[in-house]
Amino acid sequence: MDFLIAGVVALTSASAYVIASRWLGLPSAGLWMAIRRLLECLGTAAIFTVVNLSAAAAVILIARVLAGHFMSAYLLDDEVWLVVSALQGLTWALWRQAG
């Protein structure tokens, strides 16, 4: 299954490169700047993920103390945290690049 994913992603990436460079006339050198910006977006998404999960864990621990009963840390085990953090990181990085 992993080979299928890798193969399809490689094929679509190569196709996108050919379309962008030959048909749309985008310079190949611009690809490296795009990759740099992508890595910056991923970095900010990772930072937001750590901050969001740390803040949520702190809220859970504080709620346990204040409420006096158990509150599960399994609330942190949700893919939504990753999606929302990725959107935050992408927005932050694009905002920073635009400014």
pLDDT at 81 over 80: yes
* Separation between Cα atoms, residue 61 and residue 28, nearest integer Å: 50
For the stretch 35-69, pLDDT in tens is: 999 999 999 999 999 999 999 999 999 999 999 88
Q: Which of 49, 52, 21, 48 is nearest to 34 (CA)?
A: 21
Q: What is the mean pLDDT of residues 64-92?
A: 92
DSSP label at residue 69: S
Region at 71 (left for phi over 0; alpha for psi -120 to 50; beta for the rest): beta
pLDDT at 1 over 70: no
Q: What is the value of pTM for the model shown?
A: 0.80
